[in-house]
Structure formats: C-alpha cells, structure tokens
Chain A
Amino acid sequence: MTKKYDAIIIGAGVIGTPIAYELCKMGYKTLNVDKVPDAGEGSTAGSCAIVRAHYSTEDGVALAYEGFKYWLDWENYLGNVTDEKGLAKYMNTGSILVKSDGHDWRKVKKHYDAVGVKYEEWDVDTVKKHVPPIDMHKYWPVRRPEDPTFYDEPTEMLEGAIFCPEGGYVNDPALSAHNIMRAAESKGGEFMFNAEVVDIRSENGKVKGITLKDGTQIDADIVVNVGGPHSFKVNQMAEGVWEGCNIKTKALRHEVMYCPSPDGYDYLNDGYHMSDGDIGCYERPEVGNMFLIGSEDPECDPQEWVDPDEFYAGKGGKGRDNVLTDAQWKAQCYRLGKRIPSLKVPNQPKGVVDLYDVSDDWIPIYDKSDLPGFYMAVGTSGNQYKNAPVVGRMMAELIDACEKGLDHDQEPFQYEFKYTQRTLNVGFFSRKREINYDSSFSVNG
C-alpha cells in the first residue's frame, strides 16, 4: 500500500480524537483506526466525565485547570464545526472536595494556591446550606457492607469542604469525542472504524505502520497508541515498546451506579459534583434527577484486573463481564446513603461498568517510546477525560518536537499552556519515570 498518512492513531476515544485534531492543525495527515463502530464508543462512553481540578500533584492540578478552560470554550475549540449529532455540553455545577482522611486535601489546597485555582473553604454549616440533605458525620475508614462495623453509629463530625466554583461534568462523553472527530475531519483528518489493529510493523528500528485483522497494511512514520484499556496490548504489538516502559498499564473494572435523588431534592439542577474520601465515593448529577455514584476504589474493595477483550465481549461471568454486581451496588449506594440519609436505594442495580486504563502510579504516560516514531497517550487511570483537549495539544506538540529531532528522554519537552500561564515539564509523564509516590494511587490521580 502506498504511504498516505503522516500519522496513524490507534483509538478514537476522547484522547485519540484531539491528538488527531491538533496534529491536523499542524499540517499532519492523520488516520484514526478504531475497532468499535464510532468515535467515543470505547471506555470514553462509560466515563463519568467529571471535570475537577483536585489532584495530588501540582502538575496534575495545573493540567486539569488548563483542561477546564478548553471545556468552557468548547465551540471555539472545535472551530465552530457542526456535528449532526449535536454538541456535548459542559455543565458547571461547582465541585466539592470533602475534607477527610480519605484525601490529602491540605496538599490539594497547596497546589490550588500554587496554580491559582479559585476556591472557597466551607465549614459544615455552609456545606449544609448548599446541600440540604447532607449529613456531615465522619464515617472514616471506608468499609464494606459485609463488615458489621459498617453500620456503627458515627460520633465525630467532619471539618467541612473545599469548594471550587469551577468544576462540573460533560453531559455526553461519547458525543464529545464525536465532536472532536468532526473537528479533526474539518482539518483533513480521516477515521476508520470496525478495524482492529493486530500488529505494529517496524523496519530498521523505526515504526513503519500497522496491520489490521483482515490483513490490510497501512503505513505511516508515526503511530500513536491511544488504545485506552487495551493500551498494554497495543504496546506489546510494537517491538521493544512494552519492555522499554518502566511504568506499565493494565485494565481495571469499575462500576458506576445511578441512584434516584431523594424526594424533594433537585440534584440535577441544584446539586454539585462531590469527591468524598470519607466514604470513598464521588458523585455528580445525572439525567432523570439521579445521583451518579463512582467509587474512589478504597482499600477494602477488591480490585478486578481484567482482559479488556473478554470484558467487552461480555465473557467471563460474574464480576468480569459488564454487569453490575449486587455487592458493589450496595457498597457504593449505602456509602452514599450515609452521607445523604434520605437517599432511597432500589433493589435492582442500575448503572454502567467500564474499564480504567490504570498505570502503576495512576498517573498517565504521555510519551514517546523506545521505538522511534511510536508514541503513547495511555494509563489514563480513570481520571483523564477532563484533560483530553489539552492532552491532545500537548501530545501533538511533543510528537512534532520529537520528529524534528528532540531527544525527549534526555531533554524533556516543555509544554506552554495556552490559557494558564505555565510551563509543564512533559517528562513528568515519562514511561521511564520511577513510580511517583506523591500520587494518591487512586482515581484521584
């Protein structure tokens, strides 16, 4: 096959599409290849799409804050492209971080000050004024309903919360990836669906192209792994890439619950996004006046590492296929039921199950690889949806710099933020890094 593309991007999720868009804007001819039928139909479709700034590292906070600015400017970011499916919408609810033993909130506050994130400190009464049904007792440590002490009466109160007025969620994550695809297409990007990459070819120590399941070979000098929960499988297809990563990725099963808001509380319109380490849950409003309840993966919960192909094929039985489990339904809903005692928990679980692409330290890898021409934006660890547009820009600039001769491993690329005045050392996200022990080792990043 004749060489037609400058760059092939494996994956058309919310991270793969903006990389294509930005490369196109820089003059690259791109092709995104994805095995699902449309953009955003991978793990992005199951995302809670929460946009919040609290991370355990200053660079994490800075990237999220920069990312937030893109969501505010969504239509302009997309170059005012039209999408026949409509545009995804960013809903600014404001974001409450409960001060608890479950989060190192003092560190977060320090990072907010350093980065310039706007915030307010709320005492318990202020929290109650804003969230009338809330009970601010301290329940720490997080336990499971099977543990009899789960039901112990709380005796102490929490201190309060840190409130960020800038935070919320995107109402349709799959649609947001679709929007970016349309924007990329308007700049010449191409997309190929229902096409599975099974091999990454290289020649003379450089990447050469991809091979699809049906045998089709497509060549390009640049190949980018944005395979989401499949990222480790894609890295293993490319010569020496997996071995060259000090930080690895794997797929973690994650259940998200939809539980109706208590009678008389219009959570959809009046509610906030909340991160509550004291009960190990995060929540945001969902259509139908629902609480969407995610888990912060507290230590007492089992972690289920799965094979993404088996998971998406619905194979493997309980806990492995994409069906909610009764035990986890009760764990997450009852935990929130402590915080919101009037929350009514139906007997039948409702929600979504999807996979996080988790790195060893829950911080992503945005990097080149040991195979020249092969790059990766992986290990998004359940917390990079919000950063997708800024990551797209950062990856495109990193790729461009490396292709022009930068030795990023020796002299890490410095990325200039577009909105917030700051420079980010992209070496922070290196595959070669040692495990970053400043991380929360959780979805909080």
Chain B
Amino acid sequence: MQIYVCVKHVPDSAANIHIVDNLKIEESVPFLLNPYDEHAVTEAVVLKNQVPGSEIIAVCLGKKDAESTLRSALAMGADRGLLVETEKVCDSMTTARALHAAIVKDGPADMILTGKESIDNEGMQTQFRIGALFDFPVVTNAVSLDIKNGNAIVTCELAGGRTRTFDLSLPCVIGAGRGLNTPIYPTFPDVVKSRKKPIETLTLPELNVPAAPGSAKIVSMTPLVQKRHPRKITGTPSAQAAEIIRILKQEAKVLS
C-alpha cells in the first residue's frame, strides 16, 4: 500500500501564545507535529506492519521550518517526506489543493491519513477537501482501523461518545482521532536512521496548483481569556483527595 500522511507544523499548545496585530500569532514559540497527525503517522506504521511492502510518505505544506515536523514523522516511521514549501499562510482550500497536487504527482495513493483537525486553525476541512478533489470517500475522527478484503473498516467517534463503523472502499481519506492509537515516539537510534530518509521539496508553481475559486482569510484574532474561579480545597489530606476525585468525576468529567 502507498500510504500518504498529511502532517502540519503547528505551535506547541503548551507554549505561551501571543497574538500580534490582532492578526497572527507570534511565531517565536516552538512548533511541532500536530498532535492528531501523530495518531495518523502511528496508524500508518501499524498498517505498514500489517501489509508488508507498504510505503509511508509524509506530506506537509508549510514554511522551510516545517521540515522539522517532517523529520519528526520520519523518525516515527514514515519512509520519506514531501515538503510543499510556501511562505504564504494558506486557507484550507489552497492547502487541500496543494496536498492533492503533491500526492497526485507522487502517487498513486491507496490511503490518505490526516489528523481530525489541526490544533492551530481547527478548520476540520482539509481531509474532506482532499477527498473531494480526489473523489475518494472520507471519514473523520477515526478511533479504529482495519483492512479487510481490500476495504477499510473504520470506526469513528461522533458527538457524545457515540460511534459509527464504516466500510470504505480504497483509496480513501481518514482523519485520525485521539482514540485511534497511542503515538509511537522515536528513540535516538530511530532519529539517527531518519536522518538518511529523503525529503523532497516542491513549490506551488512547479506543482501547478490551480487557484481556488474562493478563499477564506483571517481578518482578526482574539486570544482566549479564560475566566478562572479558583477555590481552596481544605480539610485533611484524605478529605482533600476525595474532593479532588469528586471534582474530576462530577465537574470536569474526566474520570468515570
């Protein structure tokens, strides 16, 4: 199988992000592989182990710096990388067209994996736009994936924790969700090996990416101002622990 994984170079969610000119984020913060894309890369490695002879190609649209994100994908197990280099900030129409053109040039694709969204723009459209440009079926927020009789059996999580299982013909596009797997992280020997893996750099003009018929441009951004209501948890250590558990279960709902 020829598996393409679309990866995005995004700001670290743990960084202090500042907005400049109400328009863009200050780019001096660390940038890394979009966390949902880590699940996509990991799943590609799982598939490659199931279907020997498969090849994993990580594809990224971004600035020169985005090469480090491709290197992360290569260290995690992708075989080679394609960087569509542009200094422009692209909307999802152009992004999808660029990734589509790069995959067409390199292809053919048997499967295209993406993250369910990028944590910076949260557009949740790129996978659908790529699917439409190819005329491939698309599902998103996948939490399990199996290849059976030449089709992809994919379970996706819907709102409220419901799930739905699909049988997709190949080639297809799948947006990876958090529940899909535990990301594999590279060891130092993996990093050493990945340095020898090739990254091909392409540009929008040489790919002849057709201009999108429309566009969406960010005109202003505001930071999230979180209203916090701290309160003190008092009592004996065991009473405090019990109260924390109660809050995590009943209020934050992160424990069941």
Contacts and interface: CB of A to CB of B under 8 A. Distances in A.
A344 B16 contact: no
A323 interface: yes
Interface in A313-355: 314, 317-318, 321, 323-326, 329, 334, 337-338, 341-350
B30 interface: yes
B185 A349 contact: no
Contact of B14 (A318, A334, A337, A348): A348
A260 B183 CA distance: 13
A151 interface: yes
B188 A345 contact: yes
Interface in A90-129: none
A264 interface: no
Contacts, number: 65
Contact of A349 (B14, B28, B186): B14
A323 B26 CA distance: 14
A154 to B, nearest CB: 11
Interface stretch (B31-39, B151-159, B169-177): B31-39
Given A86-B237, A151-B195, A349 B188 contact: no
Contacts of B38: 347
Contact of B12 (A262, A317, A349): A349
B192 interface: yes
A323 B191 contact: no
Contacts of A338: 188
Nearest to A321: B16
A262 B13 CA distance: 25
A389 B72 CA distance: 45
Contact of B29 (A262, A323, A329, A350): A323
Nearest to A148: B195
A323 B183 CA distance: 23
A323 B16 CA distance: 7
A86 to B, nearest CB: 6
Interface size class of chain B, counting residues whose CB lies under 8 Å from the partner chain: 20 to 34
A318 B12 contact: no
Interface in A277-325: 314, 317-318, 321, 323-325
Nearest to A326: B30
Contact of B35 (A326, A348, A350): A348
Contacts of A86: 237
A342 B184 CA distance: 12
Contacts of B185: 260, 344-347
B12 A348 contact: yes
Given A321-B16, A347-B38, A342 B187 contact: yes
B15 interface: yes
Contacts of A329: 30
B32 A334 contact: no
B188 A318 contact: no
B161 interface: no
B205 interface: no
A343 B32 contact: no
A337 B29 contact: no
Contacts of A349: 12, 14, 30
B15 A323 contact: yes
A338 B190 CA distance: 11
B153 to A, nearest CB: 28
A325 B237 contact: no
Contacts of A346: 183, 185
Interface in B7-34: 12-16, 26, 28-33
A348 B188 contact: no
Given A314-B16, A347-B72, A334 B188 contact: yes
Contacts of A151: 192, 195
Given A325-B30, A347-B185, A337 B12 contact: no
Interface in B124-169: none
Contacts of B72: 347
A341 B30 contact: no
B192 A318 contact: no
A349 B31 CA distance: 11
A279 B192 CA distance: 16
Interface string B188-216: 11011001000000000000000000000
A344 B32 contact: no
B12 A326 contact: yes
Contact of B189 (A262, A318, A321, A341): A341
Contacts of B189: 337, 341
B15 A343 contact: no
Interface of B: 12-16, 26, 28-33, 35, 38, 68, 72, 183-189, 191-192, 195, 237
Question: Closest 10 CB pairs between A and B?
Answer: A337-B188, A326-B30, A318-B28, A344-B185, A346-B185, A347-B32, A347-B33, A323-B15, A347-B72, A317-B28
5 contacts: A262-B187, A321-B16, A326-B31, A338-B188, A343-B187
Given A326-B32, A337-B189, 10 more contacts: A262-B187, A317-B26, A324-B14, A329-B30, A334-B191, A343-B188, A344-B185, A344-B186, A345-B185, A349-B30
